[in-house]
Every structure is written in C-alpha cells, then in structure tokens.
Amino acid sequence: MSRTRTALLAALALVAGTAGAAVAAIPPDVGAAAVPCTVEYKVQNQWDTGFTTAVTVTNNSAAKSSWAVKWSYAGNQKVTSGWNAKLSQSGTAVTAANESYNGTLSTGGSVSFGFNGTYSGTNALPTAFTLDGVTCNVDDGGTDPTDPTDPGTGSRVDNPYAGAKVYVNPEWKAKATAETGGSRIANQPTGVWLDRIAAINGVNGGMGLRAHLDAALAQKGSDELVVQLVIYNLPGRDCAALASNGELGPTEIDKYKTQYIDPIAAILKDTKYAGLRIVTTVEIDSLPNLVTNVSPRATATANCDTMKANGNYVKGVGYALNKLGDAPNVYNYVDAGHHGWLGWDDNFAPSAALFKEAASAEGATVADVHGFIVNTANYSATKEDHFTVNDTVNGASVRTSKWIDWNRYVDEQSYAQAMRTQLVSIGFPSGIGMLIDTSRNGWGGTARPTGPGATTTVDTYVDGGRYDRRIHLGNWCNQSGAGLGERPQAAPAAGIDAYVWMKPPGESDGSSTAIPNDEGKGFDRMCDPTYTGNPRNNNNMSGALPNAPLSGHWFSAQFQELMKNAYPAL
C-alpha cells in the first residue's frame, strides 16, 4: 500500500486560503506542479536491529549545483553507513548532502542515495523532509515494512531462504522423474530461466511466468516459499561465447526494457504473488566480460568491445534492478562470475567496481541489490579441502601451479566471501548475502581425491588433491566427469545466504555441433569435445561431453553423469 504524506498539501491549502480571489484563477493541475520537491523513502530490507533504506529526491524548483536533504526520526534510529551522499546525524536529526560527483540537480531531476541504520523497538518512517530548507512531500515508496496491517508483503527479510521452502519447477521435475534414477532428486528446487521474451508467456505450450508463480502459490500453502527466477536476455548477451547468445542484438536496449523487463516487473508486482519470496538472478555471464574479455586483453572479442562501448550491459542490469526491485517481495542477486573468472588480482576489484556502476545506473541504487550469486551454471568446487592458496611446496607457492595460475582463490566459497567483503567496502549494504550454484560442482565418483596430492611439485600437490577434475579451470561446457554438488540449503556458511541449484541439472550448456535454431543460439567450439581450446582455457581440450543439444535443452547423458558422480552421493 502506498501512503503519501499530506503535510505539505495541507500547507499549500493554507497558503491558498490566504491568497483570496487569486486562488480561483489557478488551474486545477497547478497544485501538483507547485510541490517544490518530493522524497521517496523506501525501507528495502529490515531485520531485528537494523535496516537498509533507499531515498530518491526529485527537485521541482530551480536547478541546483549542490543540495542537502534533512529529516528527523521519532525513535532511536542511527545511520551507520551510506552511499551516494554525505550523511551525518545529530541526535534524531539526519542530513544527507551531495557528493562531489552528484551535486547537480536540475529542475525535474532526481538523485538517489541510500544507507544502513540500526534501531530498536519500532522503526517508524520519517514524516517530514526538507530539500535545502524547503519542505517536500513524501511517499514511502510502496509497502510499509513497519505496519503489519499493510496489505503489501511488508519488509524484506535478511535471508529469503531462511525458514522457507523453495519452489520445485514441475516441468524440470517431470523430466528428472522420467530419467532412470531421477526420482532421487526430482523434488530438488531449481531456477526458472526466462531466457527470451517468449518465456514470459511460455514457449511451445510450456509454463510461463504466471503459471510458475501460480504453481508456487499452490506449493507454498501456509509456509514461506522462495521462487528462483533467472533474468537472462541482455542485448548482445554473453559476448564472449556463442552457445548462450540471445535473441536481442547489441543495440536493442529499448526492446529489452519494454518487451522483457517491464512485463516481468508488472507480473512480479501483482499483489496476488505478494506472499512469495521471489529471488531473481540478474543477467549471468555478461558484466564480467566487460572486465576480462575486452581490449587490450588477449582474450578480447569484438562483441565484448562493442558491449563495453555502447554501455548496454550496464544500462540493462541497472534498469532490471530498478524495475524488479520495486516489488517489495523481490530479492535481486546479481551475477558475480566465479573464482576461475574473476579471482585474479587484475579482475577482482575492477569487477566489483563495475557491479556498483551497473547497480547505480538507470535509476537503480545499491539498495536494489540484495546480494550476488557465483558459479551459476559452472563447475567450480564449493570448497577445496586438500590445499589452500597459502600453501607452499618445497618453498614454492601453490599459486604458481598450472591449475591455480596465480589466482587468489581456490574455490567458490572463499571467493564468494571475499567478493562480499569487497562489495561492502565500496558501498553495497553490509547485509548483502551470497548464493553459490552447486548444481554441477560435486565432482564425486571414483576420481574424487581423498587427500592431498604428492608434495613432489606444486603441480603434483594441487592436481592430486583437487576435487575439480576439469582439464582447465576455464572449461565451462557440459563437462565430462562432473557431478551434482551440495543439495540446496539455507545459510550454509558465513555470508552465504544459500547453496542453490540455479542451473537445472540435465539442461545443456550448448550443442556439440552446429544446430540450426530460432532461439538465437550459436555454436561454440568449447562445447565440441574435439576442440583444442583458445586463450581463455590456455589452449587445452574442451573437456565437453559429446552429442549435446542446444543450450537449455534436455541432455539425458549429462543428467545421468551428474547423478553418477554426485557428491554427496545419492
């Protein structure tokens, strides 16, 4: 429920009452134009002792080269950290002043900032704001997280997976059940991939978004339930690969906004679904390409250079975060690659900075980001037990081994925790959590090491002890020998909101040979088991399974291999 504060409107009425006959000459719509400024104060996340808030200020008066917004709390709220504004507090009074880079505020223009705070008792919303001393009217931005009678969903919880069931996709369940032995995992929750515009309404008679949400309501009953959606249709999608290319060309950002994100956002805002916790995985395998696969890197591609130059990845992700985040029961998790992509010193901090740039674009703020997801549709081990990045062999660091190759991390959990720390340090809310996709990173079976490798050299030590049995860390397509990983679970480690199966096991990464199709999907040689590699995998064999179908299509041989090599074993 939207509750617009009326204090300023009453003040305007008082002014009108003293204006005598002149008031009658004011056209009916001038009252709205006369409002000098508006403030949207939205509590994005609230827990027992703290909260995260996003504030948007719109200036309807003369243009400004600097600004300051002020308000007071009725309770004991304290601002602890913020972003995009200089925040200070004296008693209950708070001031948010512009940073050096966002002081300009044009007539009709808006500026957004956010902050984390603490409280005890009731976190009552402020009732009055001023912009440079002038009173603004206020909108709380949607549902009131402090009001249990508000017909919206209320505030977001710190971890949506805590205390909740997770939606089991009936379509994936049917495919899994049809496989020999598949009933053992058919009730595991997996992500629903919205990988093209047609997926919103359902492809070839399949379930669309509303059908999935309706099915989720049926599964929910009286419990809390999470629905996992993969938002995956950026213009020029996944510019460094071909198997996962999409339907939109590099310049079709407007089509992405109006025909893809807007319809999804409209459905997610439907109050019918207000009781669901909707987790969105926002645009995998795209932003990291703008760090690692652009000029002058040796791994650069012309497509990635194009997407960096036109800015449509950043714009698209920002727009998605902004629009999807408007629904108070939506939890946005942005893709953060994996340790074998961004774990190197040259990639790590620049990637975090790029994520913040995208989270501040197209009206989004970092408060629209609930967390990040790593290892989506990939194979990196969650935790390597037999070596750490700090180990040495005969005086040589394991970072010098061919497998680690100077990476700062050896597994996904250490990478996810470190990336979370980095993101908070540059202005993301301290309450963000991480997800790790464990759908295909178990690496069980007879090839799974039971102890460290021989200490002959750093290579024998690492190769003999690593769970991840890929030929090279850069191999990503339908990997031979892979197994199901840890089962989905909430809060498995510090800073980790959940292990998830976002990539449904059994769905192909890409075809082994070129297959004509109307889905915009190309043929990537990394999916060809005979391919001898490229600079991104140091010219090693691809390690891919043969006879694979198009990406997203069912691949029975892969499903069986994943079950056979599952760890923990089925």
Cross-strand bridge partners of residue 93: 72, 90
Look at residue 15 in the predicted model and tell me its pLDDT.
33
Give me the numbers of helices (H) and strands (E) for the chain, helices first please: 14, 20
The amino acid that residue 82 corresponds to is G
Q: Phi then psi for 340, rounded to 5 degrees?
A: -80, 5
Q: Per-residue confidence of the chain (570 residues) as pLDDT tens digits? A: 222 222 333 333 333 333 332 222 223 333 334 578 989 888 877 877 888 888 889 998 889 999 999 999 988 999 999 888 999 999 999 999 999 889 999 988 888 898 999 998 888 888 889 999 888 876 554 444 334 333 334 478 999 999 999 999 999 999 999 999 999 999 999 999 999 999 999 998 999 999 999 999 999 999 999 999 999 999 999 898 887 778 999 999 999 999 999 999 999 999 999 999 999 999 999 999 999 999 999 889 999 999 999 999 999 999 999 999 999 999 999 999 999 999 999 999 999 999 999 999 999 999 999 999 999 999 999 999 999 999 999 999 999 999 999 999 999 999 999 999 999 999 999 999 999 999 999 999 999 999 999 999 999 999 999 999 999 999 999 999 999 999 999 999 999 999 999 999 999 999 999 999 988 788 999 999 999 998 889 999 999 999 999 999 999 999 999 999 999 999
**For residues 473 and 380, is the Cβ–Cβ distance under 8 A?**
yes
CATH topology of domain 165-564: TIM Barrel (3.20.20)
Burial of 464 (0-12, 13-18, 19+ CB in 10 A): middle
Residue 450 CB: number of other CB atoms within 10 A?
A: 7
Determine the 3-state secondary structure of 401 from DSSP: coil
Rounded to the nearest 10 degrees, the angle between the axes of helix 345-359 and helix 312-324 is: 50
Residues marked as catalytic: 285, 509
Q: Which residues belong to CATH 2.60.40.290 in the chain?
A: 7-139
The one-character DSSP state at 470 is: -
Q: Long-range contacts: 353-358, Cβ < 8 Å, 24+?
A: 353/426, 354/287, 354/290, 354/291, 354/314, 355/287, 355/423, 356/423, 356/426, 356/427, 356/428, 357/314, 358/287, 358/313, 358/314, 358/317, 358/318, 358/321, 358/334
CA 552 – CA 261 distance, rounded (Å)? 20
Please report the sign of the dihedral spanned by the C-alpha atoms of residue 232, residue 236, residue 241, residue 244.
positive
DSSP line for 482-508: ----SPPEEEEETTEEEEE--SPTTB-
**For residues 492 and 414, is the Cβ–Cβ distance under 8 A?**
no
Closest Cα to residue 102, out of 63, 65, 70? 65
Burial of 231 (0-12, 13-18, 19+ CB in 10 A): buried
Look at residue 232 in the predicted model and tell me its pLDDT.
96
Look at residue 32 in the predicted model and tell me its pLDDT.
37
**For residues 45 and 88, is the Cβ–Cβ distance under 8 A?**
no
- Longest C-alpha distance within the chain, in Å? 96
Six-digit token string for 227: 């629905």
Look at residue 139 in the predicted model and tell me its pLDDT.
58
> Check: CATH 2.60.40.290 for 7-139?
yes
CA 2 – CA 41 distance, rounded (Å)? 11
Closest Cα to residue 414, out of 449, 382, 367, 440? 382
Beta strands in 190-313 (DSSP E): 192-194, 225-231, 277-282
Q: Which residues belong to CATH 3.20.20.40 in the chain?
A: 165-564
CA 161 – CA 373 distance, rounded (Å)? 14
CA 83 – CA 62 distance, rounded (Å)? 25
Look at residue 349 in the predicted model and tell me its pLDDT.
97
Six-digit token string for 544: 């891919």
